[in-house]
Amino acid sequence: MNYTSEDIRQIVERQRTYFREGETLDVKWRINQLKRLKDGVLAYEREFEEALQQDLGRSAVEGYLCDILPTITEINETIRGLKRWARPECHYSGLMCFPSIVTKVYKMPYGVTLIISPFNFPILLTLGVLTASLAGGNTAVIKASSKSAACTAVLKRFIAELFPPEYVTLVDGGHDVADMCLAQRFDKIFYTGSPAVGKHVMAEAAKHLTPVALELGGETGNWCVVRKDADLKDAARKVAFFKLCNAGQICININQVAVAEEVAEDFVRELKMAFAKQIGDSPLTNESYPKLITESAYDRCVALADSHRNRIVMGGQGDRSSRRYSPTILYPIGIDDPIVQQELFCPLLPIVPFKDADVDWLMNVIAEREHPLAMYLFTRNRRWARRVMRSLQYGGGCINEVCIHLMVQGVPFNGTGHSGMGAYHGEWGFREFTHPSTVLMGSNRFNLSLREHPYTGKAGEGKLKMLKMFSK
């Protein structure tokens, strides 16, 4: 469908009218909608897997592991916890408010929300965010990615089958449609994508003072640090798995690995063996190996690899017709090289050697750059690792592991600064899509004149003494 600005305006207005009717406020009703969403995901499982294969070359296993299963898990967690999360909080108002001693905090929906989802995990990062929005009692307009066209087409049919358009609507199209959406007054916007577009989303949202949550990849990428005391085989196995996943097109993926130079050669050797064991010697013909999303993404990957051709120690081959590019190790790469100061979003993996004794210097360099969405440390020195994780600014991460912090229930996910703002998953998603409204329950008996005039003379002096007593 070719949308116009008027089409988008009408969609938003219909949702606003529906929201004001109050049906979405009932928590039991919301839970029923989430159950409907889960049943729909299960029914569309095969179609989602086929669309993921068409857009990204994902195998059924990878599609289910990375998109479908986490979506179902997110919905399940939300269904189980929503009654408790949505329950109004009761607070003691304090002596200053006597005799009105009870205050309630209601978790109120924002209203009409806009969800702008990306191409790399088109099912999870659409329906996972939608889960949080619906749990909060909102309506939702979804702008899905035009790059993952097959997934967007299935999602559009899926949403239309499950929900009336005044409750949830998915619109497709390119950047022009996204800008039409951003021109409208929404009550909450959730965007997943690049920092550059995130700035544009914020600028447009600011025109209406609309609160925004951003999940961004970070401009200088996510670091993995391998110290000389690390289990190199274990680290290489996990790094290889993660870099193969979705051909590196993951916001929390490892952008570059800093390896203690004392063990760098050994690590590179282990990494080569790990890649070969997991994907084989011919990844370009391996049907389970994903592809890059567009020809322009493939061409950018090729250009970056060709500019470092003399430092490719594994990989460096591609097939433009299938858009597959082999996992490629670049070694050695300097810490100030341009390739480690940008988000790669492809199967290239720069290896940056450093002296293990200079690890604190390395961490300071990382800290001076834009905050990453993820941080990964491999070391047996857990005291050092915990100190780093407590002191650096980043979204989330792992010690001696990769990526699966994303799967932990009950904890928040997102970045900070150039890697995002806000947080979601489970209760954190519910909080992101609701605003707390504080309501004091007033009393018409035993009210004191402490706050009222006169403020002068003996009455004023007595009131001042009484007020100062409350400050002790």
Neighbouring residues of 366: CB distance < 8 A, sequence distance ≥ 6: 223, 372, 392
CA 155 to chain centroid, in Å, comes to 19
Which value, to the nearest 10 degrees, does the dihedral of the CA atoms of residues 342, 188, 179, 207 take? -100
The pair phi, psi for residue 141, each rounded to 5°, is -110, 125
Read off the pTM.
0.96
**Spatial distance between the Cα atoms of 213 and 463, rounded to a whole number of angstroms:** 45
| Separation in Å, CA 190 to CA 76, 87, 123, 207, 344 | 21, 24, 15, 16, 23
The pair phi, psi for residue 380, each rounded to 5°, is -90, -10
**Spatial distance between the Cα atoms of 448 and 238, rounded to a whole number of angstroms:** 66
Determine the pLDDT at residue 409: 94
Determine the pLDDT at residue 271: 98
Determine the pLDDT at residue 98: 86
Determine the pLDDT at residue 471: 76
Q: Which residue has the tokens 């108002």?
A: 93
Determine the pLDDT at residue 218: 81
Determine the pLDDT at residue 97: 86
Give the residue numbers annotated as catalytic, written as ranges.
215, 251
**CA triple 268-272-274, angle to 5 deg:** 115
The pair phi, psi for residue 158, each rounded to 5°, is -60, -50
Determine the pLDDT at residue 366: 97
**Spatial distance between the Cα atoms of 54 and 56, rounded to a whole number of angstroms:** 6
- 107 forms beta bridges with 436
Q: Mean pLDDT per 10-residue run, the chain (472 residues)?
A: 95 98 98 98 98 98 97 98 98 88 97 98 98 98 98 98 98 97 98 96 98 92 97 98 98 98 98 97 96 98 98 98 98 97 97 98 97 97 98 97 96 95 97 98 87 90 86 74
